[in-house]
Structure 1
Amino acid sequence: MGNHALDLNPPNADLHISVHGSDWLWAAFSIFATGLLVAVALDIGRPRGTRLFHQIAVVVLTTASLSYFSMASDLGATPIPVEFRGHGGDPTRQIWYVRYIQWFITFPLILLELLLVTGLSLSDIFTTIFMALVLVVSGLVGALVHSTYKWGFYVFGLASLFYIWYVLLWHGTRTTFAANGAFRTQYIAAASYLSFMLFTYPLCWALSEGSNVISPTSEMIWYGILDILSGPVFLFFFLWQLRSIDYSTFGLKSGKYTDKHVTQAGAAKAAEAGVVA
């Protein structure tokens, strides 16, 4: 299937992914799609009211599967003239905006998955998620800019990333965790792992979309490995850590009126039964 994608959807830039790059993307898509099926099965197996973390994983893996299907099909890219290494004129390079759409959805959700187990306030979580959006948008705009000004957006992205690291590794670890801090050790392990993965993304950007040092195929391989490690690998690792934690200790409520109505009705029946007794 991947061998015919470039024939059916010809590349639209001088520097583009190869057939082997498309094959790799199909392999990555298979990993995400398989992870999605596993996440759906795990979600269905959970009792109602305890599925939030699993459903976030389902959304993340669904989005990533769609993105990698698009990239493997050589769809979702636009040609942008490169700033450096323009031998023989001013060649264009494929910039995959579909990847940034994926990250715009998945990165905040992965952070939400992790930060919900901490004692951080909703305002802290909201600001951290906003900084994640700034990081993704800065990367996209910088990649689409031909001139040296792209590195200005790169700096904005790094600044937002430093804030995210501060919250994950410093502020988040010093909050009061649910269940008498039973999940604090697991959080630190997960936050450290995710923070390291986030360190490698700007490196790949600088060498690919930024300076055009590595080819689009190498870019795909690098980003693909990072997405797999920070996507299904991280999510299943995190969900496995949650297996022994009582979900009710997180204090997460749906906030639905129907839930409140049912709770009040149950309390009224209990009070009535007490009066009768």
Structure 2
Amino acid sequence: MSPQFWLWVGFAGMSVGAALILFIGKRRTPAEEADTIIHGLVPIIAACSYFAMATGQGSILLPAGPDAGTATRAFYFARYIDWSFTTPLLLLGLANTAMHSGMRRRAVVGGMIGSDLIMIVTALVFGLSQVAWLKWTWFAISCGAFLAVYYGIFVQLREENAHERDDTRADFLRNAVFLSVIWLAYPVVLLFGDDGLGLLGPALGLGIIAVLDLVAKVVYGLMATVQTAKRVERDLAEGKAAPVRPHLAAAE
């Protein structure tokens, strides 16, 4: 299968996924409304990125390597723009799950998002770099920032999540592990793909990332949206949450 095939699959999958999330997502409380908007925006942004890459507007040609002569490789810069918006949104959604009863420690969330952006920007420079020692230095810095994001998730957010009820703690742990396992595959693909060692072909590298993106943005978004709906139903039943608009909540 060609690289173009995977790019159009990514565009179609993100478009359908966004529609599904926005269709099933409810807006009965501020928390549920925020969750629906966050997880609906993520695949919309990704769909735009995939459309740009599929039409040739989201990539540039770079030398295949310092000794490659006239050989070139496609560098898909649009994916880094995508990740700069979508991964902070996913982290914000995860933080909202961790602190379902009320957002606390905003500085921690800001720190995670800041580390995430450092990770993405340095990965972008890694992909653009042609000098070997600079390329791998940027890759190491990106991995270090990635570890900081994991620390925020599994240490700082989990500390706050420990104060929540059982179903919220279970949802947060499930979501954190799910996202973390998927995200862990990205640096591996970048390492062995055309931006790194070049051991994967262009189509295979794009295909793997397209599948990872669909799982992290659409499958995860649907799962998180359904979980939020269940938590909100319990909140409303126990009188622990007020509807955004009482007449709309009653209609739903």
| Deviation per residue, 1:137-184 (Å, 9 max, x gap) | 011111011111111111111001111111212222222456534300
Q: Determine what percentage of the aligned residue pairs are the same residue.
A: 21
| Deviation per residue, 1:203-235 (Å, 9 max, x gap) | 000111111221221111011011011110111
Unaligned runs of 5+ in 1: 1-18, 260-277
Pick from 95, 102, 105 the counterpart of residue 75 of structure 2. Answer: 95
Query: 1:56-135 to 2 correspondence within 5 Å?
Result: 56-83=38-65, 86=68, 89-119=69-99, 120-135=104-119
How far apart in 1 are the matches of 2:115 and 2:40?
23
CA deviation after TM superposition for structure 1 residue 29, in Å: 1.2
TM-score by length of 1: 0.77
Partner of 2:249: none
User: Residue type matched to 1:222 in 2?
Assistant: I
Matched, 1:25 2:10: no
Higher RCO structure, 1 or 2 (CA under 8 Å, sep 6+):
2
Contact 2:35 2:228 (8 Å CA) reproduced: no
CA deviation after TM superposition for structure 1 residue 48, in Å: 6.1
| Deviation per residue, 1:246-276 (Å, 9 max, x gap) | 368998999xxxx9xxxxxxxxxxxxxxxxx
Contact 2:40 2:221 (8 Å CA) reproduced: no
Partner of 1:150: 135
Query: 1:139-178 to 2 correspondence within 5 Å?
Result: 139-148=123-132, 149-176=134-161
User: Residue type matched to 2:125 in 1?
Assistant: V
CA, structure 1 residues 152+174, in 2 after alignment: closer, same or farther (shift >3 Å)? same
How far apart in 1 are the matches of 2:56 and 2:106?
39
Matched, 1:201 2:186: yes
Partner of 1:272: none
Matched, 1:239 2:225: yes
TM-score by length of 2: 0.84
User: Residue type matched to 2:223 in 1?
Assistant: F
Q: Which structure is larger by alpha-carbon Rg, 1 or 2?
A: 1
Matched, 1:47 2:24: no
CA deviation after TM superposition for structure 1 residue 131, in Å: 0.6
* Bigger Cα displacement from structure 2, 32-41 vs 165-174: 165-174
Partner of 2:17: 35
CA, structure 1 residues 188+176, in 2 after alignment: closer, same or farther (shift >3 Å)? closer
Contact 1:117 1:250 (8 Å CA) reproduced: no
Contact 1:25 1:224 (8 Å CA) reproduced: yes
CA, structure 1 residues 84+205, in 2 after alignment: closer, same or farther (shift >3 Å)? farther
How far apart in 1 are the matches of 2:176 and 2:60?
34
CA, structure 1 residues 252+21, in 2 after alignment: closer, same or farther (shift >3 Å)? farther
CA, structure 1 residues 80+109, in 2 after alignment: closer, same or farther (shift >3 Å)? same
Contact 1:29 1:69 (8 Å CA) reproduced: yes
User: Residue type matched to 1:123 in 2?
Assistant: A
How many residue pairs get aligned? The number is 234
Contact 1:134 1:160 (8 Å CA) reproduced: yes
Contact 2:29 2:242 (8 Å CA) reproduced: no
CA deviation after TM superposition for structure 1 residue 41, in Å: 1.9
SS across alignment from 2:58 = coil
Partner of 2:177: 192
Pick from 193, 198, 205 the counterpart of residue 219 of structure 1. Answer: 205
Q: CA RMSD in A?
A: 2.5
SS across alignment from 1:64 = helix
